[in-house]
Amino acid sequence: MTLLIPLASALAPASLFGIDLSAGARNSSELSAPLQIVLLLTALTALPAILMSITPFLRITLVLHFLRQALGTQTAPSNQVLLGIALFLTMALMRPTATQMLEEGWQPYQSGQIGREEAWQRGTAPLRRHLVRFAREKDIALMVEMSHSPSPQRPSDVGLDLLVPAYVLSELKAGFQIGAVLFLPFLIIDLVVASVTLSMGMVQLPPVMISAPFKILLFVLADGWHLVVGGLLRSFAA
């Protein structure tokens, strides 16, 4: 919950989180309570996609998917297990950022110490630092060029509307790079097994059925889950 609340407060309009459950709006410049609730629920429907796009969840799920494909186990581990691992790893990695967003933006706004605009600026600052940290300059420059925005002087000058797609592109590249490296040792096993089976004339027996136990055995002996998950966590801590 500590992760969802600050992210929702930062990525949804700040006015949606100050809902007054009175019959109508206080003045003509404010939305009525039913309309605020509708807008809030609409914003929350996009929250899962937002969480998957601006957190380490994207890279982790890509790497775990490539790993399962490289092992050739098809549905083991299942999608639910892989998504659960990715979700809890994401929560662990994003906890410091989420805590800063909660303390700097959400809590002062709830206590009435700051206004909505200032709460938005303070609340999104830790998220912006996270995105800038992992977004490549090339991808940010592409987004700035395509949006015809003025060139930012500092990383903090880049808007979230440009940082988010740049971060997604960077994470896709990183995930595919790690996935390609994971594929190599298992590909070598497949090639060796295929060469041996063909030389022995075992044409009717698929080489994948023979290589799968060897790949799983290699992965277990090398303590593969520890290596893969540890490498993913260290890639975000660097």
Buried b (16+ CB within 10 A) or exposed e, 123-158: bbbbbbebbbebbeeebbeebbeeeeeeeeeeeeeb
pLDDT at 32: 67
**Over the stretch 93-115, which tens digit does the pLDDT of each residue have?**
888 888 888 887 777 777 777 77
| pLDDT band of 238, cuts 50, 70, 90 | low
The total of other beta-carbon atoms located within 10 Å of residue 34's CB is 12
For position 12, what pLDDT does the model report? 46
Contacts of 96 (CB under 8 A, 6+ apart): none
Q: What is the Cα–Cα distance from 54 to 195, expressed in whole angstroms?
A: 44
Structure tokens of 216? 């799983």
Mean model confidence pLDDT for the chain: 78
Does the model's pTM come out above 0.95?
Answer: no
pLDDT digits (tens, 9 = 90+) for 212-231: 888 888 888 888 889 888 88
DSSP secondary structure string, 91-132? HHHHHHHHHHHIIIIIHHHHTTSS-HHHHHHHHHHHHHHHHH
The per-residue pLDDT for 5 is 45
Segment 158-166 shows an average pLDDT of 83
